[in-house]
Structure 1
Amino acid sequence: MRVPMTWLREYVELPADVTARELASRLTLAGLEVETVDELGADLTGPVVFGRVLEIEELTGFKKPIRYCRVDVGRANGTGEPQEIVCGARNFAEGDLVIVSLPGAELPGGFRIGARKTYGKTSAGMICSATELGLWEDHTGIVVLPEGFGEVGADAIGALGLREDVLDIAVTPDRGYALSMRGVARDTAALYQVDFRDPAEVDIAGPVGPGHPAAIADPALADRIVLRGATGFDPEAPTPLWMKRRLHQSGVRPVSLAVDVTNYVMLELGQPLHAWDRDRLTGTLTVRAAEAGEKLETLDHVQRSLDPDDIVIADETGSQAVAGVMGGLDTEIGLSSNAVLVEAAHFDPRHIARASRRHQLSSEASRRFERGIDSRVQLAAATRAVELLAELGGADVETAYTEVSLPVEPTRITIRTGHAGAVAGVDYPEGTTERWLRAVGCSFEADGDVLTVTPPSWRPDLTDPNDLAEEVIRLEGYENIPSIGFKGFGRGLTGSQRLRRAVGRALAASGHNEVLTYPFLGERDLDGLQLAADDPRRVSMRLANPLNDEEPLLRTTLLPGMFRTLARNVGRGLNDVALFEMGLVYLPRAGAGRAPLLPVDRGPSAEELELVDAALPEQPRRVGVVLSGAAEHAGWWGPGREAGWADAIQAVRDVARVAGVDLEVEAAQYAPWHPGRCAALFVRVEGERVLVGHAGELHPRTVKAFGLPERSAAAEFDLDLVERARTKVTAPEVSAYPVATQDVALVVDASVPVGEVSAALAEGAGELLESVRLFDVYTGEQVGEGRKSVAFALRFRAGDRTLTAEEAGAARDAAVALATERTGAVLRG
C-alpha cells in the first residue's frame, strides 16, 4: 500500500515537524513494515511555472507537425516578454493554461531544460506533459489545466504536488485494514495520540422509495450488498488533476472518471467498488454461486469458464461479474453510459481468494477482499462514490438506494486486563489495555479485571485474546520490551551439529560458497540428470499445492537445484564458481500411506501419530558440491588450472578428513556423471563397506540440459552415513625420532584401482608405517599394453627408536608382498 503524506494528513492531525521517515520508523515498529520512503520530485528543480498560450504558428516542411508557440509566463523569465517555445503536441490551443519549464529547470530523470535552436527556431523552454513532470503516465500530449487552477507566472511545483513523500507499506495478510488510507491513518493517529477524521463518516439520507433490486442467494457467500445509482453522468468528463495525481502516487493508473472514482474510494476506505452501466442490466442483481459450465467474458477480454465455487453477481440474463475479482465486459461503463450503478458488497474472503488463484487474476479488489474488509462500510463507500460522480461528472445522485444486509453475530472476546503484559513479560500500567483497545476501535464491558471485547467491523483479524494482546503490545511499543538474555543450562551443540559446522568450515576454507536452494524439482530435472526409468531417484513425493507447476516434486537429490544456481551465476558473469549445499532430500517409504488429517479440538492419539510418522518420507542429510571454471588462476606464479573431477573428489576427501573417517574411492558409472570420469565413494560402518555417494565430471548431456559450462564437475554424498562411520578419535603420538622413507613402484593391470594397491601396501607395511602417498602413474611401452606403473612413497617411523635400514626395508618388502598377493602387482625394476 502506497501512502502519500499529504493525503494521509487530511485524516490525521500530525504535527508539522513529523517527517515521512520518522513516521515510517514508527509504523514499522508498530507492525506496518514500511519498505521504502519514495521522495517523488526530489530531483525536480525549477523554474516550472504556469503559462498562457498566446499564439501558435504551425511549422511546415518537417516529417511531423511542429508548432512554434509564444507563451505568457509573466515575470518568471525575468523580462515579462512572451516565451518562445517549439512543441510537437497537438492537444492544446491558443488561450489554454499550461505548465512551462523554463531554461535552468531540471525535470525528473535528470532531464535538463535549456534554450536551443530546433526546426529553424529558438526554443527557450518546454511546455510539459504529465509524464515529463512525473504526474502520471500519459503520452497523449501536454497537460491543459482548467481555468483558475493557477496564476500565470506563478510557481507550479507546489500547486501541482510535484514533490511528495510516499510510504510504501508491505501489508501482511492479517492486516487487510492497512490497504486503505483510512486504516493507516487510524494507526498513525493512535501512535501519535492525535485526532483522527474518519473519511467513512458521510451524510446518508434515508432512502425515498426502493433502489435497484438486489438479493443474496446464499448467506455463506456474502452478508451485505449496497447499490447506489446516479443518472445524467457525463462519461467524457475528465478526471481532475488532483485525483489523477493521488492515484498515480498510490500505484494505480488513471483510466476514466467512473473507474478512477471507484479506485479512489477503494484506496481511501478499503472497500472495493464496481460501477455498472445501469442501462445494460436486466432485473435484480443477485449474489450467487456460479453454475456448472457457466462462462463470462471479463473486462480484460478473456472468456472465463466459471467454477461452482466462484461467487458471481448476476442479473436475469446471467452472470455479469466474478464477485470481488473482476467485472464483466457486457456491463462496462462506456462512452455512451450516463446511468451508473455503484455496487459495494461484503463477500466471503475464502471464496474470493480461491477464485483469484483459480483464474490467475489478482486484482486490487481481490487483494483486499481475501484479507478481510470492513463489513459495515459498504453504504458509506457507495455514497462517497456517487457523490464524487455528481461533483466531478455532473451526475444526479438518486436518493433511493438498496441495502441487503443479513444478520451476523458479532465477535466477542474475553480477556484479562493483564494478559498483554503477561504475554510481553512487561508490567504495563493500569488502564493500558483499555486505552489501546479504544484506540483501535474496540468496545468492551468490564467486570473487574475481565473485559468482554467487541472488535470493530474493520478488524476481522481480531478473533482471540492473543490478537488483542498483540494490538496492545505493538502500540505500546515492541522496542519497549526489555531484552533479557536466556539463563538456561544447555549442553552445547550435539555431535551432529558440530560435524555440520566443521564440514561447512572445511568446504568454505577450500573456496566453496554455500547456497540454499528450493527443495522442489520437476520431471524435466530428472530427465536432465539422464536417470533411467527405474532409477529410485525418480520415485518422489508430489506436492498437493506446488508453488510452481513445473516443480511439483520434493527433491530426491540436491543436484538439480545446485545446477540451476551454477547456471544463474555463470549467466551473470561469474565464470569460476565452486558451490556447496547441505540439505535434506525426501525419499518415500515403500508402502507408505497418506497421513491422516489430525483433529484441532484435541491432541493426536498415539495411533494417529504412528500413522503420521509412517507416511513421512525418509529424510537423509546430503552434501552437494558443484564446480566450474578455474580452480587456480594463471599468473606470474604459474599457468593456472581448470577445476575438474579430481577437485570434486577432493572436496569429499576434505569432508572425510574433518569427520575423521577413511574414504575409499573407486571408478564407477552412475548418472548424471560421465561414465569414464565418475568415482564411487565408500566408508566403513561397523566394519562393513558402505556406498555414501559419487563424484566426478558431469555427463555432457546433463551439462547441456542445465545450461552448464563444459567439463563441470559435481559430488553428492550422504552426510548421515559419514557420521555413522565416525569412530572415536585419539590424538596421535608425536615421535621425536627421524622418518625413514622408502619408494616403491609396482606394475599392475590397468583395470586395478590405485586405491586397492594403496590399501594393500598400508596393511602389509604394519605398525611402523606413518603414511603412504601416490606420486606417479605411468603407462607406456616400458610396462606393456594394458598395464600401468604406480609409484608410492612410504614413510616409516617408530615412537621409541631410530629405525634401521633393515627394519624399514623389511616393512617395505612386507607391503609389496601383500600388494602382490591381492592385486597381482609386480615390482618394477
Structure 2
Amino acid sequence: MRVPLSWLAEYVELVPGTTPEDVHAALVKVGLEEEEVHGFELQGPIVVGEVLEFVEEPQSNGKTIRWCQVRVAPEGETAADGGDAVHGIVCGARNFFAGDKVVVTLPGSVLPGPFPIAARKTYGHVSDGMIASARELGLGEDHDGILRLAELGIDAPVGSDAIELLGLNDAAVEINVTPDRGYAFSIRGVAREYAHATGAAFRDPVALSAPADASGEAFPVVIADDAPIRGRVGSSVFATRIVRGVDPSRPTPPWMVARLKLAGIRSLSLLIDITNYVMLEFGQPMHGYDLDTLVGGITVRRAREGETIETLDGKQRTLHVEDLLITDEAGPIGIAGVMGGARTEMSDATRNVLIEAANFDTVSIARAARRHKLPSEASRRFERGVDPEIAAAAASRVAQLMVDLAGGTADPVGGLIDETPAREAIALPDGYVSGLIGVEYTDAEIREALAEIGARVDEAEGGLAVTPPSWRPDLTGKAELAEEVARLVGYHRIPSVLPVAPPGRGLTRAQRLRKRTADVLAAGGGTEVLAFPFVAERDNAVFGSADGEPVASVRVANALDASRPFLRRSLLPGLIEIARRNLSRGLVDLELFELGLVFLPEAGRAYGTAVLPAAAARPSDAELAALIDGIPPQPRHVAVLFTGDVVEKQPGQPAVPAGLADALDAVRRIALATGGEIEVVQGRHQAMHPGRTAELRVGGVRIGYAGELHPTIAEEADLPRVVAVAELDLDALIVATDRTVEASPLGTHPAATQDLSLVVPIETPAAEVGAAVREGAGELLEALHLVDDYRGQGVAEGSKSLTFALRFRAADRTLTAAEASEAKLAGARLAAERFGAAIRD
C-alpha cells in the first residue's frame, strides 16, 4: 500500500516537517513493515509558461518542429532559471496554440529518469528548456502532445511553480500489508495506525461522509445466493446510489491524478478515477455502471454452467458455478469483487451512473480471482476482509465527488441491503495477556489498548468481554487480542534476551566482506595503516563536507593533543598525515589505505552527556538507553591514497605517475571484493581538484568520492602536486550489496569491432552518452570503451567528439558487418534522442 503524505494528513495530524522516513518509523512501531518511499523525482525550476507565438519549421527528416517563444516569467521580471522572461524553445508537439498556458521545464530542472534539462542546440536553434507532456512529468502515459493547463481547468499566473500547482511536490510511503491486516489497504486504516503510533488526532473519513437516506429503493437489487461456500452467503451488504447528468469528458483534477499516481494507480478517466480514489481512501472497493445500459434490476447470484462474460479487459471468460456474479436481466455484468463487465462499463458516452458499494465473502472472491487469474485492487481488499459498515458512506462519497467534479446530480435516496451478522464478543480472561506476552500489563493498559483499536470492552466473569470493531475481521480469538495489546502498548516493553551463540559459526557477512576488501587492496600493492581518529576542526570542515556547508563535530573531553580535539568525519586527514611523515623519510612512492570508523554527529545534538553508571551493579535500562543515545553514528569507511609513481622507471619502461585512474581502480577493486556495483559520475568536492573529482554512488545514493587532492591542500601538507585519493562508506556499500556475483560465459564466436564517434554538447557526461549507446545497441554489444575525447578544429565550439570502441558478439552465430552496424546505429540513435548526439563524419 502506497500512502501519499498529503492525503494521510487529511485524516491524521502530521507535525509540520514530517518526512516519509518519520512516517515509516511511526508505522513500524505498530507492526507495519516499511518498504520504499515514492515521489515524482522532479527538481525545479518547472514553471507555468504562456506560448506567445511559434513558427512551423519542416525538417529534412520529414518531421515538422515548432520554434516557440514562451513567456516563463511576468514581463519585466527574471525567469526562475535566472534567464530572460521569454525563452525560445523547440517543440515537436502540435496540439497547442498561441496563448496556451503550458508547463515549462527550465534549464537546471530534472525530470524523472533522471533526465536533466539544459539549454542545447537542436534543429538549428538553442532550445532554452522544454515544454513538458504528462508522461515527462510523471503524471501519466500520455506522450502524444504537451500538457495544456486549460484542459485541466487551470489558469495560473505565468512563472508560478508548476510542481506545487500540479501536486507533484508530494511523496508516498509504501508499506507491506500482511494478509491479516486488510484494513491497512486504505488511507483510513493507515491514518488510524499512525494515530496509534504517535497519539495524533484521527479523523475518520467515513464519519465525514454522511450516507444517503436508504428508506426508499434507489435501484432494485436482489441477493439470491443459492449455493453459499462453507455456509457463508456471497454478499451481506449492497449499497447503491445514482448520479445523473455527469460529464465524463471533464479532466481529472491534477491533485487527484497526483495522489493516484503516488498510490500506484494510473489515471484513466474522471469517473473511474473517482471510484478508485474512494477505494484507496476508505478501503471499500467501488464500481460504477452506465445506468442506461442496465437491463432491469441487479441480482447477485452464483454463475450457471456454461455462462460467459466479457470483462473490462476485453477478454471473454467462461464462468465457474462457484463464481459470484453481479447480473441484470440480460445476464452477467461483473464477477463480484474481481472485475466488472464490458457491457455496462462507464465510458465517454455515460451520462447516468449507478454506484455500487458491496461486501462480499472473502473465500468466494479469493477463489474467483485465482481461478480466472485476475488479481485486482478490489479482490486484494475483499479477500482480506472489508469493513461491512462503510458501504453506504463510501457510495455517498463517490456520489458527492461525481457531483463536485463531473457536474452530476445525485438522487436524494440511496439503496442499502445489510444482512451482516452481529459480531460476538471474545472472552479475555484475567492474566491471559500478561501470561502470553511475558510482560506485566495493568488492567488499565489492556482496556485502553483495546478501546483504542475501536473494540467495545465490557466487564465479564473472570475477565473482559471484547467485541472487535467491524474493520478488524482478523480479531477472532483471545490470542489476537493479546497481540493487539502488545502492539499498541509497545513492543519495546517485551524484553530482549541475547541467546548464547554456538561456537564455530565464523565471521558475519559484513566481517567477511570487510576482511576481503582489505585483502584485495593489500594484494594490489597497498599498505594498510591505522591513523589516530583525532583531527583539527579545519580537517572536519574541509573533508567532512563536500560543498563547504558547516558540519557538526564531536569534541573529545580529554584530548591527547589540544590542536586535534575532534573526532574525525573522514579518513583522509589521517592518510595525508601518514603520507607526509613517510615522504619526510624518503618514501616517495606510496599506496596507503585504511578501514576505520568515522563519527558523524547530527547538528544540534549533544553527545556524551549521559552520566556514567556505577560499576557496582548492572546499569539500568534507562542508563543504558542514555549511554546509547549519547553515541553519534559511526559508519565504517575505507580510504586510499596514491602519490609518487605506481610503476618505477626501468630500462625500456618510463615511470608511470599515480593519478585519478589509480584511485578509481582501487574503487573498482573494492566493488569486486564486496560484490557491489559502484557508479562513477562527475562530482565536486572542496578538498579535491576541480574537474578531476568523481562522485561514487550505489543505487543512485552517494557513498563517497574519488579524485586528486586539491593542489593547495597538497602543498600545505608538503605533498607532491598530484595526490590521488578515494573514500567511501564501506558499511553503506555492504548493506546495499546483496547479490551473488556470477561469471559471464566466454563467447566462442568471432567478435565484430567498430568505432563510433559522436558530437555532443561539451557539458554532456561521456558516461551518460556511453550508457545510451550501450542501451540502444542491445544485447549484441559485448563491450564499450571510450577511447577519445576530442575538442578542437573540426568540432563546433561548445561541443566535443567522443569516440567509443565497440565490440559486438552473438552467442549463437557469427555476426555480419550489417548486424553490427545496425546495432551501432541503434545506439547512436538513442544517444541522439537523449543528448542531441550527432555522428561525426
On whether the aligned pair clears a TM of 0.5, the verdict is yes
Q: Which of 98, 123, 127 is the equivalent residue of 2:102?
A: 98
- Aligned-residue offset at 1:106: 2.2
* Percent identity of paired positions between Structure 1 and Structure 2: 47
Q: How does 1:375-386 map to 2 (within 5 A)?
A: 375-386=388-399
CA contact 2:212–2:396 (8 Å) conserved in 1: no
- Aligned-residue offset at 1:407: 4.4
- What's 1:314 paired with? 327
Output one character per residue of 1:361-389: Cα deviation in whole Å (capped at 9) or x when no partner: 11111010000010111111111111111
- Aligned-residue offset at 1:13: 0.7
Q: Secondary structure at the match of 2:70?
A: strand
Q: Which of 193, 203, 210 is the equivalent residue of 2:210?
A: 203
- Aligned-residue offset at 1:482: 0.7
Q: Secondary structure at the match of 2:240?
A: strand
Q: Secondary structure at the match of 2:459?
A: strand
For 1:83 and 1:355, locate their aligned partners in 2 and report how far apart those are by CA, in whole Å: 56
CA contact 1:411–1:463 (8 Å) conserved in 2: no
Aligned letter for 2:164? G
Aligned letter for 1:73? V
Aligned letter for 2:69? R
Q: 1:236 to 1:425 in 2, by over 3 A?
A: same
CA contact 2:167–2:254 (8 Å) conserved in 1: no
- Aligned-pair Cα RMSD in Å: 2.7
> Which structure 1 residue ranges, 5 or more long, are not aligned?
503-573, 575-627, 631-706, 708-829
- What's 2:385 paired with? 372
- What's 1:64 paired with? 63
Q: 1:292 to 1:76 in 2, by over 3 A?
A: farther
CA contact 2:30–2:196 (8 Å) conserved in 1: no
Q: Which of 406, 421, 429 is the equivalent residue of 1:408?
A: 421
CA contact 1:177–1:374 (8 Å) conserved in 2: yes
Aligned letter for 1:33? E
Q: Which of 139, 142, 147 is the equivalent residue of 1:143?
A: 147
Output one character per residue of 1:613-633: Cα deviation in whole Å (capped at 9) or x when no partner: xxxxxxxxxxxxxxx999xxx
Aligned letter for 1:90? R
Q: Which of 162, 165, 177 is the equivalent residue of 1:156?
A: 162
Q: Which of 248, 259, 270 is the equivalent residue of 1:246?
A: 259
For 1:264 and 1:323, locate their aligned partners in 2 and report how far apart those are by CA, in whole Å: 19
CA contact 1:14–1:192 (8 Å) conserved in 2: no
- What's 2:14 paired with? 14
**Larger Rg belongs to:** 1
For 2:369 and 2:392, locate their aligned partners in 1 and report how far apart those are by CA, in whole Å: 25
Task: Single out whichever of 360-369 and 74-83 deviates more from structure 2.
Answer: 74-83
Q: Secondary structure at the match of 1:237?
A: coil
Confirm or deny that 1:266 pairs with 2:279: yes
Output one character per residue of 1:56-85: Cα deviation in whole Å (capped at 9) or x when no partner: 322234522322222121134246542221
Q: 1:229 to 1:629 in 2, by over 3 A?
A: closer
- What's 2:242 paired with? 229
- What's 2:53 paired with? 55
For 1:334 and 1:134, locate their aligned partners in 2 and report how far apart those are by CA, in whole Å: 24
Output one character per residue of 1:657-684: Cα deviation in whole Å (capped at 9) or x when no partner: xxxxxxxxxxxxxxxxxxxxxxxxxxxx
- What's 2:129 paired with? 125
- Aligned-residue offset at 1:477: 1.8
Aligned residues: 497
Confirm or deny that 1:287 pairs with 2:330: no
- What's 1:212 paired with? 219
For 2:110 and 2:351, locate their aligned partners in 1 and report how far apart those are by CA, in whole Å: 42
- What's 2:366 paired with? 353
Aligned letter for 1:93? F
Q: How does 1:99-114 map to 2 (within 5 A)?
A: 99-114=103-118
- Aligned-residue offset at 1:208: 7.0
- Aligned-residue offset at 1:198: 1.0
For 1:57 and 1:449, locate their aligned partners in 2 and report how far apart those are by CA, in whole Å: 86
For 1:19 and 1:287, locate their aligned partners in 2 and report how far apart those are by CA, in whole Å: 45
- What's 1:183 paired with? 189
Aligned letter for 2:7? W
Q: Which of 435, 454, 459 is the equivalent residue of 2:472?
A: 459
Aligned letter for 1:98? V
CA contact 1:222–1:345 (8 Å) conserved in 2: yes
Q: Secondary structure at the match of 1:255?
A: coil
Q: 1:320 to 1:45 in 2, by over 3 A?
A: closer
- Aligned-residue offset at 1:14: 2.0
For 1:265 and 1:110, locate their aligned partners in 2 and report how far apart those are by CA, in whole Å: 32
Q: 1:629 to 1:148 in 2, by over 3 A?
A: closer
Output one character per residue of 1:465-516: Cα deviation in whole Å (capped at 9) or x when no partner: 11111111112222331123579xx9x99xxxx9xx99xxxxxxxxxxxxxx
Q: 1:419 to 1:16 in 2, by over 3 A?
A: farther
- What's 1:324 paired with? 337
- Aligned-residue offset at 1:448: 7.2
CA contact 1:67–1:86 (8 Å) conserved in 2: yes
- Aligned-residue offset at 1:46: 2.1
Task: Single out whichever of 177-186 and 232-241 deviates more from structure 2.
Answer: 232-241
Q: How does 1:522-537 map to 2 (within 5 A)?
A: none
CA contact 2:299–2:327 (8 Å) conserved in 1: yes
Confirm or deny that 1:3 pairs with 2:25: no
Q: 1:472 to 1:208 in 2, by over 3 A?
A: closer
CA contact 1:76–1:154 (8 Å) conserved in 2: no
CA contact 1:136–1:245 (8 Å) conserved in 2: no
Confirm or deny that 1:396 pairs with 2:412: no
Q: Secondary structure at the match of 1:332?
A: coil
Output one character per residue of 1:695-729: Cα deviation in whole Å (capped at 9) or x when no partner: xxxxxxxxxxxx9xxxxxxxxxxxxxxxxxxxxxx
CA contact 1:414–1:452 (8 Å) conserved in 2: yes
For 2:196 and 2:342, locate their aligned partners in 1 and report how far apart those are by CA, in whole Å: 43
Q: How does 1:415-564 map to 2 (within 5 A)?
A: 415-416=428-429, 418-447=431-460, 450-484=463-497
For 1:320 and 1:205, locate their aligned partners in 2 and report how far apart those are by CA, in whole Å: 25
- What's 1:660 paired with? none
- Aligned-residue offset at 1:109: 2.0
For 1:191 and 1:388, locate their aligned partners in 2 and report how far apart those are by CA, in whole Å: 31
Confirm or deny that 1:33 pairs with 2:19: no
- What's 2:655 paired with? none
Aligned letter for 2:199? Q
For 1:367 and 1:76, locate their aligned partners in 2 and report how far apart those are by CA, in whole Å: 51
CA contact 1:47–1:104 (8 Å) conserved in 2: yes
Q: 1:61 to 1:475 in 2, by over 3 A?
A: same
Task: Provide TM-score, normalisation by structure 1.
Answer: 0.57
- Aligned-residue offset at 1:186: 0.4
- Aligned-residue offset at 1:134: 2.3
Q: How does 1:421-820 map to 2 (within 5 A)?
A: 421-447=434-460, 450-484=463-497
CA contact 2:38–2:262 (8 Å) conserved in 1: no
- What's 1:170 paired with? 176
Q: Secondary structure at the match of 1:28?
A: helix
- Aligned-residue offset at 1:424: 1.4
Q: 1:416 to 1:65 in 2, by over 3 A?
A: farther
- What's 2:739 paired with? none
Output one character per residue of 1:593-637: Cα deviation in whole Å (capped at 9) or x when no partner: xxxxxxxxxxxxxxxxxxxxxxxxxxxxxxxxxxx999xxxxxxx
Output one character per residue of 1:101-140: Cα deviation in whole Å (capped at 9) or x when no partner: 1122222223222222322333211111122222333223
> Which structure 2 residue ranges, 5 or more long, are not aligned?
226-231, 507-671, 673-741, 745-810, 812-841
CA contact 2:171–2:262 (8 Å) conserved in 1: no
For 2:335 and 2:164, locate their aligned partners in 1 and report how far apart those are by CA, in whole Å: 42
Output one character per residue of 1:183-204: Cα deviation in whole Å (capped at 9) or x when no partner: 0000101111111111112123
- What's 1:275 paired with? 288
Task: Single out whichever of 349-358 and 469-478 deviates more from structure 2.
Answer: 469-478
